Chain A
Amino acid sequence: MTDAEPVRLVEVVVDAVADQVALLRSVAADVAIRGDFDLDAIEDLRMAVDEAAALLVGCAAPGARLHCELRPERQQVRVRLVVDAKPDAQVEHSSMGWQILTALATEANAEAAEGRITITLARARSEKITA
């Protein structure tokens, strides 16, 4: 045994449409369940990924695909979601979706570059977040 983080990257690619958001949040929750995360952390991650995916669906160029990478680590799950964006689209930090995402994730960031928008987030294994 070594102390290195086990690498078990999960990648999911779906059409960037509303109907696919449920699939992404379910995969995210499943990754946390398999990592034996607390129930609160599982549900917070499910909701954070849902909001991130929904925000990116709103920014997506016609026909775009939504790429989602989930990286389970010992103390957290890291998630990176990327979409090809329509011109001038951006993640509105004043939106209710971003408000929920940033409240439930232990880290969250959105950036636009080269016609793509990327949201990265992480949810720790057991940090308690209360509303």
Chain B
Amino acid sequence: MQITSAGEGSVVLSVTGEIDLSTADELQNALDAALAAKDTTEVVVDLSEVGFLDSAGLRVLVSGQRTAEERALGFRVTGAQPRVRKVIAITGLTATLGLDVG
């Protein structure tokens, strides 16, 4: 898994690869850093290059969403592929994660 961060204010974290029990911590660290940066108003997690996401990754995304909410920052997930979208839907998190429709 690789993560690149782009932008200030609206920070886009683009993730490539598989998010699972062994890589979720890395995503957590990147999210924490993005949410803590002083100019951040919104964090967008782009999953368009993620082929696999399990509950370990979902827990990190949900915790990121909660932290953003506590700090009155925007948070959303974009670009989820159909398989990733399916797992998010099973857990009832589609709206919570601000997943874009379509």
**A interface, CB within 8 angstroms of B:** 18-19, 21-22, 43, 46-47, 50-51, 54, 57, 95-97, 99-100, 103-104, 130-131
Contacts and interface: CB of A to CB of B under 8 A. Distances in A.
B87 A19 contact: no
B58 interface: yes
B58 to A, nearest CB: 6
A54 B18 contact: no
Contacts of A131: 85-87, 89-90
B28 to A, nearest CB: 13
By CB atoms of chain A within 10 A, which of B20, B21, B56 has the most? B21
Contacts of B90: 99-100, 103-104, 131
Given A47-B52, A51-B55, A131-B87, 14 more contacts: A18-B22, A22-B18, A22-B20, A22-B22, A47-B54, A47-B83, A47-B87, A54-B55, A54-B56, A96-B55, A97-B54, A99-B90, A103-B90, A131-B86
Interface SS majority for chain B: helix
Interface of B: 18, 20-22, 52, 54-56, 58-59, 83, 85-87, 89-91
- What secondary structure prevails in chain A residues at the interface with B? helix
A96 B20 contact: no
A40 to B, nearest CB: 9
A123 to B, nearest CB: 14
A7 to B, nearest CB: 30
14 contacts: A18-B22, A21-B20, A22-B22, A47-B52, A47-B83, A54-B21, A54-B54, A54-B55, A57-B21, A95-B55, A96-B58, A99-B91, A100-B91, A131-B87
